[in-house]
Amino acid sequence: MAVSRESKNCMTETADIVVVGGGCIGAAIALPLAEKCAGKILLLEQKDIANGASGKGIGIICTHYTHPTLAKLAYQSLQRFQHFAEHYGGQESGFNPCGYYVLVSEADVETLSSLVNQHQSFGINTGLVDLQQVKAAIPIANISDVAAAAYEPDSGYGDPLQTTRAFAQRAIELGVEVRIHTPVTAIRLDIEGRIEAVVTPQGAIATRTVVDCVGAWARQFTAAVDLPFPVTPVVEHVVLVERSSEFDTESSASHPVISDLVNLCYLRSAAHHPYTCIGNSDPRYHAQFCLDTANQFEGQLFPDICETLHQKLVHRMPSLATSPVIQTYWHLGSHTRLSADYRSPGTSTWFILCDRL
Ligand SMILES: Cc1cc2nc3c(=O)[nH]c(=O)nc-3n(C[C@H](O)[C@H](O)[C@H](O)COP(=O)(O)OP(=O)(O)OC[C@H]3O[C@@H](n4cnc5c(N)ncnc54)[C@H](O)[C@@H]3O)c2cc1C
């Protein structure tokens, strides 16, 4: 990525808004821009749609966030997922509202209770539940170390790939031009330091507005225009196990999502296969999986975390100890310590959207 302050007059193409990054965020931003008829909108993706985290996410959709702004945003998102095709007028997103349990140990009972109260005050359908209810809903779960639980009946999981494609397809129908295999290699500024163009291998495109939706690539992308945006690329791991049918009673065949805050992991089943997958939510591990830049990601796997995740799965669902591991996969996500309402310093033309806060 390079930045140039030289003014060039050889640009023939112009766009009112250039959205950079064809993940779920870029596609979800391009669509309402098109709905509002914001002029000529280009969505530029360096590889294919959902090439980044959006193609590999576990897709858990819930409202249990500690930051109140995130909880409110998640609640609005959940409502969109509930009526996705109806709201956007395109395809379905693949949302499965199978329910979502949060499990905590003794140390976190008070925090859980106050968060649930806060979320209820936002209108979110959530509540503390009896541990017997957890056991009845997920008979294969061992809850001996669980002190309290909350339940969101409307939450569940989605299909990140299908969701991203649905957003992109609808955006195209409404006039957005989506160009894949079109990396933005530089951002050109005019002599006053305002954005003048984005540069791609096919040529420069004159624009005053760029929407940065490059996810884990954000640090290198914004560094090019001297914006300190500390997004850290992190390799996220997932382990997928096939449940034997002998453990699948009707009620546990497709169990609800579990956010296991006792062992810092999350689990979900799949709609059409007897699979349970597990991902990591323990931030202590993230330091090991951080990369300096997203371009350093060449599919590297950290095998120890897969073993740890498998152990956590077996701890929570002991009857799966002998179930075959169908797949372990890993992909690039990102984390930042910025607050949800971060604004880039000294400029009003940059909108920066990022992964997990
Ligand atoms: C294994 C895993 C599990 C996850 N599980 C969950 C979950 O259960 N629930 C949840 O809510 N979230 C989950 N996430 C996080 C979620 O997937 C991400 O928050 C979300 O997909 C981010 O979308 P995005 O569009 O910001 O980024 P991305 O999907 O990464 O999209 C960024 C895009 O920008 C493109 N790009 C980068 N640089 C350029 C450039 N210079 N020019 C053009 N294009 C460029 C990339 O190719 C990429 O396609 C998970 C993530 C992973 C990896």
State the Cα–Cα distance between residues 338 and 335, nearest whole angstrom.
9
CA 44 to ligand 1: nearest atom: 43
DSSP annotation of 260 reads E
Judge if the beta carbon of residue 199 lies within 6 A of ligand 1: no
For residue 182, give the 3-state DSSP assignment.
coil
Q: How far from 125 is each of 121, 122, 150, 224, 253, CA to CA, in Å?
A: 10, 9, 11, 43, 24
Judge if the beta carbon of residue 49 lies within 6 A of ligand 1: no
Judge if the beta carbon of residue 239 lies within 6 A of ligand 1: no
Over residues 1-23, mean pLDDT: 72
Judge if the beta carbon of residue 274 lies within 6 A of ligand 1: no
Judge if the beta carbon of residue 336 lies within 6 A of ligand 1: no
- In the chain, what are the domain boundaries? 2-55+162-229+339-352, 60-158+232-336
Task: Report the separation in Å between the CA atom of 18 and the middle of ligand 1, taken as the mean of its atom positions.
Answer: 18
Q: Is the pLDDT of residue 6 over 90?
A: no
The separation between CA 41 and the C-alpha centre of its own chain, rounded to angstroms, equals 23
Q: Which CATH number fits domain 2-55+162-229+339-352: 3.40.50.720, 3.50.50.60, 1.10.287.110, 3.20.20.370?
A: 3.50.50.60
Judge if the beta carbon of residue 233 lies within 6 A of ligand 1: no
* Lowest mean per-residue pLDDT among 22-31, 206-215, 266-275, 295-304: 295-304
One-letter-per-residue 3-state SS of the chain: CEEECCCCCCCCEECCEEEECCCHHHHHHHHHHHHCCCCCEEEECCCCCCCCHHHCCCCEECCCCCCHHHHHHHHHHHHHHHCHHHHHCCCCCCCECCCEEEEECHHHHHHHHHHHHHHHHCCCCCEEECHHHHHHHCCCCCCCCCCEEEEECCCEECCHHHHHHHHHHHHHHCCCEEECCCCCCEEEECCCCCEEEEEECCEEEECCCEEECCHHHHHHHHHCCCCCCCEEEEEEEEEEEECCHHHCCHHHCCCCEEEECCCCEEEEECCCCCEEEEEECCHHHHHHHECCCHHHCCCCCCHHHHHHHHHHHHHHCHHHCCCCEEEEEEEEEEEECCCCCCCCCCCCCEEECCCEC
| pTM for the structure as a whole | 0.90
Residue % of the chain over a pLDDT of 90:
65
What is the torsional sign of CA 240, 244, 247, 252? positive
Q: Measuring CA to CA, which residue among 259, 268, 263, 229 is closest to residue 357?
A: 229
Instruction: Judge whether 214 and 203 are in contact, CB under 8 Å.
Output: no
Q: Which residue has its alpha carbon closest to ligand 1 atom 48?
A: 52
* Lowest mean per-residue pLDDT among 49-53, 145-149, 222-226, 270-274: 222-226
Over residues 143-155, mean pLDDT: 98
pLDDT of residue 59: 94
Out of 24, 205, 238, 268, give the residue to mutate to test ligand 1, the one with the largest number of ligand atoms within 8 Å of its CB.
24
| Chain mean pLDDT for the chain | 87
Residue 11 pLDDT class (50, 70, 90 cuts): low
State the Cα–Cα distance between residues 117 and 195, nearest whole angstrom.
45
pLDDT of residue 333: 81
Q: Which residue has its alpha carbon closest to ligand 1 atom 21?
A: 54
pLDDT tens per residue across span 79-136? 999 999 999 998 999 999 999 999 999 999 999 999 999 999 999 999 999 999 999 9
Task: Report the separation in Å between the CA atom of 216 and the middle of ligand 1, taken as the mean of its atom positions.
Answer: 7
pLDDT tens per residue across span 288-324? 788 888 888 877 777 788 899 999 999 999 999 999 9
Out of 54, 78, 229, 280, give the residue to mutate to test ligand 1, the one with the largest number of ligand atoms within 8 Å of its CB.
54
Judge if the beta carbon of residue 77 lies within 6 A of ligand 1: no
pLDDT of residue 95: 96
Q: Is the pLDDT of residue 258 over 90?
A: yes
Q: Which residue has the higher pLDDT, 75 or 232?
A: 75
Judge if the beta carbon of residue 156 lies within 6 A of ligand 1: no
DSSP annotation of 208 reads S
CA 279 to ligand 1: nearest atom: 3
Q: Which CATH number fits domain 60-158+232-336: 3.40.50.920, 3.30.9.10, 3.90.1170.50, 3.40.1370.10?
A: 3.30.9.10
pLDDT of residue 298: 79
Over residues 256-262, mean pLDDT: 97
Judge if the beta carbon of residue 212 lies within 6 A of ligand 1: no
Judge if the beta carbon of residue 197 lies within 6 A of ligand 1: no
pLDDT of residue 157: 96
Q: Which residue has its alpha carbon closest to ligand 1 atom 35?
A: 21
CA 356 to ligand 1: nearest atom: 19
Q: Which residues contact 137 (CB under 8 A, 6 or more apart)?
A: 99, 101, 251, 255, 256
CA 355 to ligand 1: nearest atom: 19
Question: Between the ranges 246-250, 251-255, 337-341, where is the mean pLDDT highest?
Answer: 251-255
Instruction: Judge whether 138 and 269 are in contact, CB under 8 Å.
Output: no
Q: Which two tokens stand for residue 319?
A: 């009857």
Q: Is the pLDDT of residue 69 over 70?
A: yes
Judge if the beta carbon of residue 256 lies within 6 A of ligand 1: no
Q: Measuring CA to CA, which residue among 100, 30, 26 is closest to residue 59?
A: 100
State the Cα–Cα distance between residues 312 and 335, nearest whole angstrom.
23
pLDDT of residue 4: 40
Judge if the beta carbon of residue 22 lies within 6 A of ligand 1: yes
For residue 48, give the 3-state DSSP assignment.
coil
- CA-based end-to-end distance of the chain: 24
Q: Which residue has the higher pLDDT, 2 or 292?
A: 292
